[in-house]
Amino acid sequence: MSRAPTLPPQQVWFAINVSRAMDKNMEQDEWIKHIHTEALKGIQDGIPWNLNTLNFLMLQNTAYGPFTTKSHAIAMAPAELDEESKDLWKEEIWTTILIPNVFEEGDLEYPDWSLCAIRYVCKTCGYAQIFKGSCGKCKAEGKPYTPTIKVRDWDGELS
The distance of closest approach from Cβ of residue 132 to Zn ion in the complex, given in angstroms and rounded to an integer, is: 14
Give 154's Cβ-side CA count (13 Å radius). 12
From the CB of residue 134, how many other CB atoms can be counted at a distance below 10 Å?
Answer: 15
Minimum CB distance to Zn ion smaller for 55 or for 134? 134
Contact pick of 124, 134, 149, 150 for Zn ion (by CB under 5 A)? 124
By CB under 5 A, tell whether 16 contacts Zn ion. no
- CA-closest candidate to residue 20, choices 74, 57, 75: 57
Give the largest CA-CA distance in the chain: 63
Interactions with Zn ion, residue window 83-122 (CB under 5 A): 122
By CB under 5 A, tell whether 158 contacts Zn ion. no
* Burial per residue of 92-106, b for 16 or more beta-carbon CB atoms within 10 angstroms, e otherwise: bbbbbbbbebebeee
Minimum CB distance to Zn ion smaller for 3 or for 132? 132
Minimum CB distance to Zn ion smaller for 46 or for 142? 142
DSSP code, position 79: B
By CB under 5 A, tell whether 128 contacts Zn ion. no
By CB under 5 A, tell whether 22 contacts Zn ion. no
Minimum CB distance to Zn ion smaller for 35 or for 135? 135
By CB under 5 A, tell whether 135 contacts Zn ion. yes
